[in-house]
Amino acid sequence: MASWAEQLERELAGRGLAVASVPGKGRGLVATRSFFPGEVIICQEPYASTPNKISVGSTCDHCFASGKMKKCSGCQLACYCGSGCQKEEWKLHQPECQAISALTEDRKKMLTPTIRLMVRLILRRKRQIEKAIPSSATDNYDLVDALESHIAKVDDKQLVLYAQMANLVQLILPSVQLDIKEIAHTFSKFACNAHTICDPELRPLGTGLFPVISIINHSCVPNAVLLFEGQTAYVRALEPLSNNTEVSISYIETAATTMKRQNDLKQYFFSCKCPRCIKDSEEDALLEGYICKDRKCDGILLPDTGKKAYTCQKCGICRDGEEVKNVSSQILLLSDKASSLLSSGNNSEAGSVYKVIEQLEQKLYHSSSIPLLHTREKLLKICMELQDWQTALMYCRLTIPVYERVYPPFHPMTGLQFYTCGKLEWLLEYTEDALKSLTRAADVLQITHGTKSQFMKELLGRLEEARAEVSFKQSSR
Ligand SMILES: [Zn+2]
Ligand SMILES: [Zn+2]
Ligand SMILES: [Zn+2]
Ligand SMILES: [Zn+2]
């Protein structure tokens, strides 16, 4: 029989894909045929996964649905949306259930998502060796084995932590003889390979290890996007891919300056050499950039040496470094205040402080800058919580041009923001605006999310409704 590696190669070839060594990056996934925008390049079930909120118990262990769950009567920890999902999980959960049931309450509290992910990974491997759970070319431990751990680059403090975590896993699974060093290495693999499983609106639900998806490398200008339906990972093309193109997704939030992105990528132990990262700093100056003193000028300001002044690259007018520093420190002070108000649940007061911050930031920053964008995103969220739809819509509309500027043409964030905009406009009975926004949302999200999920059916349903309402209004005029 062919080895798992050969079987994987054959299976990928059937889909028009190959694993290749990419200069400077190690392994990578390469298209061996063309893919159209929105086409599923690859999908995979996780080798191991766990919801993040284990103790809250609001996510189904099997399908990652949210809501009211039924707890496993054995361990009182695993949660399911119904008996169907419980049955599907039983072959894996049975040994886990036994292990958890034997734990003291204090030890149970130590089952963080990462620890539980490891427990489930070890048990799945064991069950596959016992043939209680079938294996396949895309579902076997060899794939986990082949993942990069970057263990040589991990610092000593972190190594000690991994070893402690491995010992804890051994305490939870006394019946399985573990190689502590190997488990510590696998924790290191989690750090640079595990994926956050999100719902269609990109809210995190859990963590999963998808060893075939992990072959795909990062780019800050990716040509594909990774999203989830339940806990199944889907990678879809964002643009036409031609034969021999490397498939890339983004591991991080890409609406950020190069320095921020490089910093966020540190945990993956590589420095990105994508077109955005090697380009000159003009885009960065815009993203964190200060606005020209002349309000009619949209030039970008760059600091002089020593940051004593900032000069507009378009009209040459200077902004005083002291003035910039002053406003910045005011913003910083208020931001601390606002975020502590927000974390104590005081939405309405936090909203007022963020509005002052927004005013100050408008004095300082370019309209496309990231700090201003983030403040407006916060204000949008707060206004939604407070059901102040009109103000929410205003902030939502202000964020969209920035999204369109910083993200590629088809990006889930842009699509979702158009969707929010459309829902708010519909609620406020701006029916024609709602139709426009929902149409834009559908255009983008059909590429990033496909068309078949419940989430997309709902969006397409709303779009139909808006279309009917607009044509009714037009005909009755
Ligand atoms: Zn379920
Ligand atoms: Zn159980
Ligand atoms: Zn990059
Ligand atoms: Zn200027």
Q: Quick check: is 205 in a domain?
A: no
Q: Quick check: is 137 in a domain?
A: yes
Q: What is the pLDDT of residue 59?
A: 93
Q: Quick check: is 456 in a domain?
A: yes
Res. 280: pLDDT tops 70: no
| Residues 89 and 56 reside in one and the same domain | yes
Q: Per-residue pLDDT tens for 291-315?
A: 888 888 888 888 887 778 888 888 9
> What is the band of 433 on the pLDDT scale with cuts at 50, 70, 90?
very high
Q: What is the pLDDT of residue 175?
A: 92
- Whole-angstrom CA distances from 373 to 105, 198, 256, 328, 401 are 44, 22, 11, 16, 10
- Of the chain, the percentage scoring pLDDT greater than 70 comes to 99
Q: What is the pLDDT of residue 25?
A: 82
Out of 401, 426, 444, a domain closes at 401
| Residues 397 and 470 reside in one and the same domain | no
| Residues 52 and 176 reside in one and the same domain | yes
Q: Provide the domain count of the chain.
A: 3
> Ligand 1 centroid to 91 CA: how many Å?
15
CA dihedral 197, 199, 205, 207 (to 10 degrees): 0
**Average pLDDT score over residue span 74-103:** 95
Q: What is the pLDDT of residue 78?
A: 94
| Residues 392 and 434 reside in one and the same domain | no
Out of 150, 171, 196, a domain closes at 196
Q: Per-residue pLDDT tens for 106-150?
A: 888 889 999 999 999 999 999 999 999 999 999 999 999 999 999
> Ligand 2 centroid to 221 CA: how many Å?
43
| Residues 361 and 450 reside in one and the same domain | no
| Residues 71 and 124 reside in one and the same domain | yes
**pTM listed for this prediction:** 0.92
**Which residues are placed with Cβ below 5 angstroms of ligand 3, an ion?**
220, 272, 274, 277
Kindly identify the ligand whose nearest atom is closest to the C-alpha of 254.
3
> Ligand 1 centroid to 88 CA: how many Å?
9
| Residues 192 and 50 reside in one and the same domain | yes
Kindly identify the ligand whose nearest atom is closest to the C-alpha of 88.
1
Q: What is the pLDDT of residue 287?
A: 76
Q: Quick check: is 33 in a domain?
A: no
CA angle 458, 40, 82 (to 5 degrees): 50
> Ligand 4 centroid to 295 CA: how many Å?
8
Q: Per-residue pLDDT tens for 199-244?
A: 999 999 999 999 999 999 999 999 999 999 999 999 999 999 999 9
Exposure pattern of 388-418 as b/e (b: 16+ CB <10 Å)? bbebbbebbbbbbebbbebbbebbbbbbbbb
CATH code assigned at 344? 1.25.40.10
Query: Residue 300: which domain range?
Result: 281-401
Q: Quick check: is 91 in a domain?
A: yes
| Residues 396 and 419 reside in one and the same domain | no
Kindly identify the ligand whose nearest atom is closest to the C-alpha of 111.
2
Q: Per-residue pLDDT tens for 440-467?
A: 999 999 999 999 999 999 999 999 999 9
Q: Quick check: is 31 in a domain?
A: no
| Residues 121 and 192 reside in one and the same domain | yes
> Ligand 3 centroid to 222 CA: how many Å?
9
Out of 378, 401, 424, a domain closes at 401
| Residues 291 and 366 reside in one and the same domain | yes
Q: Quick check: is 256 in a domain?
A: no
| Residues 59 and 150 reside in one and the same domain | yes
| Residues 289 and 177 reside in one and the same domain | no
